[in-house]
Amino acid sequence: MSTHVETPTPIKPSIYGLTLEQLTAWLGERGHKKSRAVQVWELLYRKRVTDFAAMEGVHAEAIKLLQDSFAIQTLTEHTKQESSDGTIKFLFKLSDGNLIETVMMRHKFGLSVCVTTQVGCNIGCSFCASGLLAKSRDLTSGEIVEQIMKVQLNLDSREQGERVSHVVVMGIGEPFDNYEHMSNFITVIKDHKGLAIGPRHITVSTCGLADKIREFADSDLQTNLAVSLHAPNDELRTRIMKINRAIPIAKLMDAIDYYLERTNRRITLEYILLKDVNDQREHALELAALIGDTRRALANVNLIPYNPVDEHSQYQRSTQESITAFYDTLKKQGISVSVRLEHGADIDAACGQLRSKQMKEA
């Protein structure tokens, strides 16, 4: 399916795309002290000011500089779906007319937001709604940060004192295919003078770009890492994830070993359960053997019940009996394993599903 995308209208870059260090340097080059940058930063992220003119106490000259050079709001809310379990799925329109999804989920430990990093996705996992439409561009770090801000502003409007406490970078797109903007985004949201979302409350998910996993291990981002494995052998993984042709399991596991050695941090191996495809006992035993003794201490398998993309999906959801049996088999092999809690089952639950539906109706 081809999708016409209008030529982007030139707009000012998002102020949210700057880290505090970058904002300090930018204002410093124009004659303003670091304290001015901190003042603007706290107004943006603590006071959630969305208009430069409303920044009380900021010198008029600095206001004019910011107004001339940056925008605060570049996303508009196109559609919002609210689930009975408190999940909210937002469809945002970008300045160029493209649509992206952002999801807020309620957990016992707090409010988590799943952000998108690309418009579409080129990885092409056969079970994923996000890949139904090819990637047209990367998001800027400002556009990724603004997703968090839009959700937080929505929470503020309800006047219940709630705040976004956790972030998962596993919406539409492959975060490691947009590495620089993804890294900048994390630096912005974890800054203690702003949103102050702790790095241990941030998880980045990748389909397995081995070189970027190594780069991530060497970075100072210190966030959690999740790897979409979804199969215990090359034949099966290649069938459902075409990325495996370029990065087979052995190469991926070498990168994972590097990450574990460098960081000594736990890693999550995501495994979506597809009925009669990868959900049998022999697959669980093969997965346990792949993890082995050396990775066992720092690896957790997260089993994901499949949400069909649409009525024409080639895959079906595993039965509860199969999910339980798979879980029990891994447990008996000494593997740390969990089953992902489902959110938004009464709305367009699968990642990319709402966007895909809107694009079809357009």
Question: Do 343 and 307 touch, CB atoms closer than 8 A?
Answer: no
Q: How far apart are CA 259 and CA 268, in angstroms?
A: 12
Catalytic residue among 6, 101, 121, 162: 101
Q: Do residues 167 and 144 touch, judged by C-beta distance below 8 A?
A: no
Q: Between β-strands 99-107 and 88-93, what pairing exists: parallel, antiparallel or unpaired?
A: antiparallel
Per-residue three-class SS string for the chain: CCCCCCCCCCCCCEHHHCCHHHHHHHHHCCCCCHHHHHHHHHHHHCCCCCCHHHCCCCCHHHHHHHHHHCECCCCEEEEEEECCCCCEEEEEECCCCCEEEEEEEEECCEEEEECCCEECCCCCECCCHHHHCCCCEECCHHHHHHHHHHHHHHHHHCCCCCCEEEEEECCCCCHHHHHHHHHHHHHHHHCCCCCCCCHHHEEEEECCCHHHHHHHHHCCCCCEEEEECCCCCHHHHHHHECHHHHCCHHHHHHHHHHHHHHHCCCEEEEEEEECCCCCCHHHHHHHHHHHHHHHHCCEEEEEEECCCCCCCCCCCECCHHHHHHHHHHHHHCCCEEEECCCCCCCCCCCCCHHHHHHHHHC
What token pair was written down for 164? Answer: 């976004």
Write down the catalytic residue from 114, 128, 207, 351: 351
Beta bridge partners of 228: 270
Instruction: Give CA separation, 167 vs 177, 245, 302, in Å.
Output: 18, 30, 17
- 114 assigned to active site: no
Q: Which residues are catalytic?
A: 101, 351
